[in-house]
Amino acid sequence: MSSAEIVLFAIRGALKLGEQARAAYVDSTRRRALVLPLPDFTLGTNLQQAVTYLINHPLQDSSRMQSLMVKLNDNVPLTEEEKQIVVDHHNDQLLAILPGSSGFATANDGSVVAQSSLDALVTIRQWRREDDPTKSTLQRIAGSLIEIGVDYYLEMPGALDSDSKSGRAVKGFLEGLDTISFAEESIGDLPRKLFIITLETLSENPELLSDSEKSQVLIKAATAGIATDVNAKILELRASEGGANLGKEQAIRFWGETVFRSLLKSTAKMVLDNPAKFLDVDDAGKSALISKVGGSFLDMVDEIPFGELETIFSEKTLEAVTDAALAAVAEYPELVTGDDSRLGPLITQLAKDMQAMDTLYTKQSIPEITRIVLAATGENLELIWPPGDEPGKNFALLAAKSTIEVLSAPSPHGSSWQLTFSSTDFEQVVELVVDDIAESPVWLTTALDEHDGKLKPVLTAVLASIRERGDKKLLTRETAVSLISVAMHSAAISSDFIKTVPNRGPFIAALVDVILNSAFSDVTAVSWRMVKYEFLVGLTDHLVQELQDYSIDDAKLEGVLTAVESELDSYAQRLKDGGDVSLDGLLTKLETEIEGVMQS
Amino acid sequence: MKLKVTLSCCVLFLLSGCISNYYNSINYVREAQTAFNEAAAIDNSDVTVTLQSAEAGYAAAIAAVNGLEADEEALETAISDNLYGIALTIKALSHWKLRNWDASLAAQQSALTRYSSNRDSLGTRDLVLLNALPSLIKHGQEVSRLNQGVSFTCTGSVTSLDCTQSSPSFANVTRQLQEALGELVGAIESAPPSHPVRFYLAASAVGVLETGLQACQQVRLNGRPLNESTIAVCRDNEVPLSETSARTIASNLCAGRTTDQGEALFQVIINHYSALLNICQA
């Protein structure tokens, strides 16, 4: 950099800072409070006023005052002391009218209002606080400092070695900021924080620098997108509330920082994992992908109350969700490109639906459920969310909602097994259900048919069997969740498992019921062996594997159940009697029995 | 490297010169604000011995504004920065407190004329004050008249005093105060709700009421009974304290407090100043 360039930069920088500093000084002068002098008048009660008042408001309870009033009436001159008594009494009468008048204290100079209080009362600011049209000094100066910093870097890239990989990345950030006039916007110190996040992310994720030129474009898009969206959200908030709301604005900025950090980290991973898919998009396309994903997550502040977002989403969970969103848009750019982005409304809908369930565990599951739905959507967009469908009709979202609705329903009164599922349980079952519908188009349409969807009734029946047969002390939540998972997976494998058995309900639910009934038939001898994760889940899974090889017509469903029931009862009896109780032996016998039913 | 540092220092030196001129207009205005604020604080403390200091402060504030007006470049900048309205407001208020009535009205008119097409640039407080200033001036003029002597000069016998031709004219004094009170109450209502300038105007209205009371008392001090003509003049020209005005004053003195307190203060004002309604009929 030549000396002339330094001089020019110094002039430009000083002028820019000087302009804003002066503007701040002008604003401060315009808003400066004035102490206003009161008009000249003698404030205080004289004898004349006191007498006039007391004539109109005669006293009943003061013989002294009554005697003084008689003297006045008779034109008998009062002593100075008596005059003061009349005036004091008059003042007391007036003060007594005021609520809380006992709190009045006479100052040293005899006044009721202290000088300091009077000074404060007549120190008048130019505008009401909510009407003040001037900008704060901090806002003007902070904005200008950043503008100067941006100018400095853009004008003298050599100073930070823009040819280096990190230099390019930082330049991308500064270019993103350069699109916004900070001194005129309402994003406070967000740019400074975004800058720090960028530097931190670069040092922790060197993969972001693997293709520095393209990374520069991505970082620029993330920066400009988040800063612009945060600003727009704050202006929207101010318009709706008729003024600034510092608490909510701070919450929006904080959420913007969190989203930005996740966006950068996820972008770094995408660059590393899938460079061909992600980096071969043209610059405008890349910018749209990044900024729209960030904007979509920022919109969550509209659905989840301030204060809850940061407790629901940790950095780690938001990063996982962002990964899924970026993967989805990398696979299907149409999710965010075009006139109407679909990603934002889907995420908003997810947050809205999960919020509506309003239970502690469902709220905790918002990040993971969002990730699961986005991942499924990104894997098979045409199947999961056909073009033109509203966000509420995304099949992954529908499946997740249905599953959580059933699992979070309170157990019926008198149920044997009343344990409540945790957020992790919800997530495990939802992931399995969503994966299954994504892999099986037939199961998807059967499970989530608008009028006769099987997902909810089957899941409800399986859970009802567990609640009915299970023992809360013996059957763990983990085992119950696995039983449900095996059962729901069977539905995706074969339609036979969701056929209705007369008086027993869906076949898979009836099968679970039979197994649990035997397992809990005798707590001391039988349950000791049978109510174990490996036994219950292993047995159910084995039966599902065995049965899926057959095409079971309706007439044989009851036969299968009876055969299994009979064999398990025999097994239980052997347990009581001390006979052969190996699991392998049981499975072999069950296979034989089932084969017999099928061939009959 | 040495050359770069030297050049940078030269630039900063040159800029610092430019910047100091650049700030002149603001400095004039801030100087006026500071002098005015200090003077007003002394004035409100009502300590007689320091009254001269207050007057010196008002004079200093006026001098700062005059300095701005004499500096063409600074004045031009102050106008473009919307600072000149503040300067003129301070000048008008300072002249009012120094009882330079004509100069005060001239500054007030100058400000309102200059900002006639863009009143918002004046700022809420200053616009309200400039509009209320004529009423404060009227009040100030009557206080001056009353302070010229302990009583109105009336004629006639001791048992039938005629104050209709008094000097100063009792009728004129009360008419001016009547107008001033009405205008101040109007100014309170023109200010935005909850703006602190409302309190100041309400307190000023109390001052007008006090002066009205003082005027009536001075008439009475001449002796009693008054003759019929004087009583008629009193009745026609007494400072009216309507319930509406009393409520406006009370509620703005009680801004931010409970409705009960506002109502109680209203009662105090009505009781305290009820003499205004009937003193001349005594």
CA–CA distance, A318 with A370 (Å, rounded to integer) = 10
Q: HEC profile for A102-146?
A: HHCCCCCCCCCCCHHHHHHHCEECCCCHHHCCCCCHHHHHHHHHH
Residues 156-185 of B with CB under 8 A from A: none
Which positions in chain A touch B211 (Cβ < 8 Å)?
41
Q: What angle do CA A11, A13, A19 make, to 5 degrees?
A: 95
The mean pLDDT value for A471-481 works out to 81
| CB-CB contact of A90 with A45 (8 Å) | yes
CA–CA distance, A481 with A478 (Å, rounded to integer) = 5
Q: Check A10 against B12: CB less than 8 A apart.
A: yes
- Pick A453 or B278 by higher pLDDT: A453
The mean pLDDT value for A137-165 works out to 59
Q: pLDDT-derived band of residue A101, with 50, 70 and 90 as boundaries?
A: very low
Q: pLDDT-derived band of residue A562, with 50, 70 and 90 as boundaries?
A: very high
Per-residue pLDDT at A36: 92
Top mean pLDDT of A270-284, A413-427, B159-173, B262-276 is at A413-427
pLDDT in tens, A215-239: 777 788 888 888 888 888 888 888 8
B194 inside 8 A of chain A by CB? yes
Per-residue pLDDT at B225: 45
pLDDT in tens, A281-290: 566 666 777 7
Computed from CA positions of residues B33, B37, B38, B43, in that sequence, does the dihedral angle turn out positive or negative? positive
Q: How far apart are the first and last CA of chain B?
A: 93
Computed from CA positions of residues A267, A268, A271, A272, in that sequence, does the dihedral angle turn out positive or negative? negative
Per-residue pLDDT at B243: 67
- Check pLDDT > 60 for residue A109: no
Q: Check B207 against A99: CB less than 8 A apart.
A: no
- Pick B159 or A79 by higher pLDDT: A79
Per-residue pLDDT at B58: 95
Q: How far apart are the first and last CA of chain A?
A: 93
Per-residue pLDDT at A211: 62
User: Structure tokens of A79?
Assistant: 């002593």
CA–CA distance, B104 with B96 (Å, rounded to integer) = 5
- Pick B147 or A9 by higher pLDDT: B147
pLDDT in tens, A520-544: 776 666 666 666 777 888 889 999 9
Residue A441, SS3 per DSSP: helix
Which positions in chain A touch B195 (Cβ < 8 Å)?
127-128
Query: Closest Cα of chain B to A404: distance in Å?
Result: 51
Per-residue DSSP letter, A500: E
Query: Closest Cα of chain B to A165: distance in Å?
Result: 27
Provide the total of helices (H) and of strands (E) in chain A, helices listed first: 28, 4
Per-residue pLDDT at A231: 83
A129 inside 8 A of chain B by CB? no
Which positions in chain B touch A110 (Cβ < 8 Å)?
none
pLDDT in tens, B232-268: 555 554 445 666 777 777 767 665 454 555 566 666 6
A94 inside 8 A of chain B by CB? yes
Best B36, B38, B124, B209 member to test A by mutation, with max A CBs in 10 Å, is B124
Q: pLDDT-derived band of residue A13, with 50, 70 and 90 as boundaries?
A: low
Q: Check B143 against A41: CB less than 8 A apart.
A: yes
- Check pLDDT > 50 for residue B4: no
Per-residue pLDDT at A314: 83
Task: Please name every residue paired with A508 in a beta bridge, in sequence order, or none if there are none.
Answer: none
- Check pLDDT > 60 for residue A86: yes
Q: pLDDT-derived band of residue A107, with 50, 70 and 90 as boundaries?
A: very low
The mean pLDDT value for A327-351 works out to 80
A104 inside 8 A of chain B by CB? no
Q: Residue A310 — left, alpha, or beta (φ > 0 → left; ψ -120 to 50 → alpha)?
A: alpha
Query: Closest Cα of chain B to A90: distance in Å?
Result: 9
Query: Closest Cα of chain B to A73: distance in Å?
Result: 14
B51 inside 8 A of chain A by CB? no
Residues 52-91 of A with CB under 8 A from B: 52-53, 56-57
- Check pLDDT > 80 for residue A405: yes
CA–CA distance, A174 with A147 (Å, rounded to integer) = 10
Task: Please name every residue paired with B160 in a beta bridge, in sequence order, or none if there are none.
Answer: B157
- Least confident range of A77-81, A241-245, A463-467, A504-508: A241-245
| CB-CB contact of A36 with A124 (8 Å) | yes
Provide the total of helices (H) and of strands (E) in chain B, helices listed first: 13, 2
pLDDT in tens, B178-225: 889 889 989 998 998 888 898 889 888 888 887 877 776 666 554 444
Q: Check A43 against B207: CB less than 8 A apart.
A: yes
pLDDT in tens, A15-51: 666 677 778 788 888 989 999 998 887 655 566 667 7
Rounded to two decimals, the ipTM of the complex is 0.82
CA–CA distance, B76 with B84 (Å, rounded to integer) = 9
The mean pLDDT value for B163-189 works out to 78
Nearest to B264 among A41, A43, A99 (CB): A99
Q: pLDDT-derived band of residue B59, with 50, 70 and 90 as boundaries?
A: very high
- Check pLDDT > 80 for residue A129: no
- Check pLDDT > 50 for residue A199: yes
Q: Check A48 against B15: CB less than 8 A apart.
A: no
Computed from CA positions of residues B169, B175, B181, B187, in that sequence, does the dihedral angle turn out positive or negative? negative
- Pick A104 or B169 by higher pLDDT: B169
Top mean pLDDT of A304-318, A319-333, A395-409, B25-39 is at B25-39
- Least confident range of A205-214, A218-227, A406-415, B167-176: A205-214
Per-residue pLDDT at A136: 63
Query: Closest Cα of chain A to B13: distance in Å?
Result: 11
B117 Cβ contact partners less than 8 Å away, ≥ 6 residues apart: none
B43 inside 8 A of chain A by CB? yes
**Nearest C-alpha neighbor of A128 from the set B198, B259, B62:** B198
CA–CA distance, B258 with A241 (Å, rounded to integer) = 25
Q: Check A49 against B268: CB less than 8 A apart.
A: no
